[in-house]
Amino acid sequence: MGKSRVIFASIIGTALEFYDFMLFAVFSESIGHVFFPPGLISDFQSGWLTFIVAYLSRPFGATLFGYIGDKYGRKFSLILTVSCMGIPTFIIGVMPGYETLGITATIILFASRLVQGLCTGGEYNGSAIFTLEHVGKNLPGFAGGLITGASVIGALGAVGVGVLITNDAMPDWAWRIAFIIGALVSLVGLYIRMFVEESPAYQALQEDEALEDSKKDTKSPLLTALSKHSKSVRLSIAIGFLNGTLSYTLYKFVNLYLQNLGMTKHDTLLYTNIGIIVFIFGSPTWGYIMDKIGYKRMMLLSCSLAMSLAVPIFFLLQTLNPWMIALAQILMGLCVASIAGPEHAFIQRLFPTKDRFSGVAFSFSTGMGLGAGVSPLVMKLLVEETGVLLLPSVVMIAAGLLLFILLKKYKGPYYDL
């Protein structure tokens, strides 16, 4: 199979899977209202709690599917992730709420989100590893940016559905339609992945005679990565943390921020689409720039953008001027794309082929889970406790500064794809 067909298959599969996963972020408050005991906690808190569960489970999914990907093949791991993603999506879409099932509905919801988080932990980096090992040295930054863009296209699809369904003319249960559609499109992703070939790098590893000796080592690929590549693990966690902080500021926190200032959820989602569209096209663009200016230089530039644009973004948002909000979302989209687009080509070079899936997936997912699950809550608390509308920018600056320091300290090694 040609490289372009592999990239296309990865793009389609990743987009479909992230559509499923991101639906919950869009409808978290509606879902919290349906599946949690009334009056126990707010709809926001219940929805966000379940959302965090999925994100904090991502490192465990990365560990599981990373092991499968390193031991049994990238393709096999990716077939499993897309197969397992559609089932909990369907369950959430059709399951009766708390009024009918009581606490059982809440438990099943948590279990479904747990499975989704596990699958996503293996999907995002697994798909990129599979693609870049096919691409090799032929514009890996650009190819990795396309995979990132695909995940954002899936998210945009979820947000677009959210815009339609949050319309006042739609019934309260309409969000279920989006989940049922998501379950059906997972079948498309599964079909596509059944007909792609294993990555050349993994095939070569399997054929290497030296691998016969390494198979006698009972240590898992993840333990090897943690013990032999600890600096790479720390750096990858920091990259994931910055990505999670920025992307879920764009996807989720800015929506809540603007709603608290008086905007409707429908209108905030429309503005979010502006940032997401910039994110989609910006990811391969920044990845291409990385191919031209160098891996580390691009990552340092990403940190600098996050730190320098954080305050201007929140200053523009609080004006509630439509043009200023649109500009803020454009800047936010550029920030997220600058880290999320190039990150695959950079992180994958921090680990050798034998331990790459486990090392990359676990470390990145750990950072991503912390950034996406914790940073928006910290931002929300800062605003609520102080009333200072610019304070969320401090979280963005801190995440960028942490990665900047670790990048400066890292001197190698780097491995071929």
Q: How confident is the model at residue 305 (pLDDT cuts 50, 70, 90)?
A: very high
Q: How confident is the model at residue 89 (pLDDT cuts 50, 70, 90)?
A: confident
Greater confidence (127 vs 305) lies with 305
Provide the pLDDT for residue 212.
56
The predicted model scores a pTM of 0.84
Check whether 213 has a pLDDT greater than 60. no
Identify the top-confidence range among 10-19, 108-117, 146-155, 310-319.
310-319
pLDDT tens-digit series, residues 20-36: 777 877 787 778 778 88
Identify the top-confidence range among 105-114, 152-161, 396-405.
396-405
Q: Where are the beta strands (DSSP E) in 161-303?
A: none
Check whether 284 has a pLDDT greater than 90. yes
Three-class SS of 359-393: HHHHHHHHHHHHHHHHHHHHHHHHHHHHCCCCCHH
Query: What number is the average pLDDT over the span 367-383?
Result: 89
Query: Residue 311: which residues within 8 A CB-CB, separation 6 or more?
Result: 390, 393, 397
How far CA 94 is from CA of 34, 45, 107, in Å, comes to: 12, 22, 15
Provide the pLDDT for residue 410.
93
Cα gap 192→183, rounded to integer Å: 15
**3: number of CA atoms within 13 Å, CB side?**
14
Check whether 330 has a pLDDT greater than 90. yes
Query: What number is the average pLDDT over the span 295-317?
Result: 96
SS3 content of the chain, % helix, strand, coil (to 5): 85, 0, 15
Q: What is the DSSP string of 274-328?
A: HHHHHHHHHHHHHHHHHHHH-HHHHHHHHHHHHHHHHHHHHHHHTT--HHHHHHH
Query: What number is the average pLDDT over the span 32-58?
Result: 73
Q: How confident is the model at residue 2 (pLDDT cuts 50, 70, 90)?
A: low
Greater confidence (17 vs 57) lies with 57
Contacts 24+ apart (CB under 8 A), 201-207: 201/133, 201/136, 201/353, 201/417, 202/73, 202/74, 202/133, 202/353, 204/353, 205/353, 205/354
Are the CB atoms for 136 and 236 separated by under 8 Å? no
Query: What number is the average pLDDT over the span 353-378?
Result: 89
Query: What number is the average pLDDT over the span 232-252?
Result: 93
Cα angle at 78 between 73 and 83, to 5 degrees?
130
Which residue carries 């399997």 as its tokens?
A: 206
Provide the pLDDT for residue 348.
94
Provide the pLDDT for residue 278.
94
Q: How confident is the model at residue 234 (pLDDT cuts 50, 70, 90)?
A: very high
Q: How confident is the model at residue 209 (pLDDT cuts 50, 70, 90)?
A: very low
Check whether 265 has a pLDDT greater than 60. yes
Check whether 388 has a pLDDT greater than 90. yes
Cα gap 173→182, rounded to integer Å: 16
Backbone angles phi, psi at 89, to 5 degrees: -60, -45
Cα gap 41→34, rounded to integer Å: 12
Check whether 169 has a pLDDT greater than 70. no
Our measurement of the distance from residue 113's CA atom to the centroid of its chain's CA atoms, rounded to an integer in Å, reads 15
Check whether 214 has a pLDDT greater than 70. no
- What CATH number matches the domain at 3-201+220-409, 1.10.3290.10, 3.40.50.510, 3.40.50.620, 1.20.1250.20? 1.20.1250.20
Provide the pLDDT for residue 237.
96
Query: Residue 193: which residues within 8 A CB-CB, separation 6 or more?
Result: 9, 13, 75, 78, 79, 82
Locate 32 and state its tokens.
């919290």
Q: How confident is the model at residue 308 (pLDDT cuts 50, 70, 90)?
A: very high
Provide the pLDDT for residue 227.
85
Mean pLDDT of the chain: 86
Q: How confident is the model at residue 359 (pLDDT cuts 50, 70, 90)?
A: very high
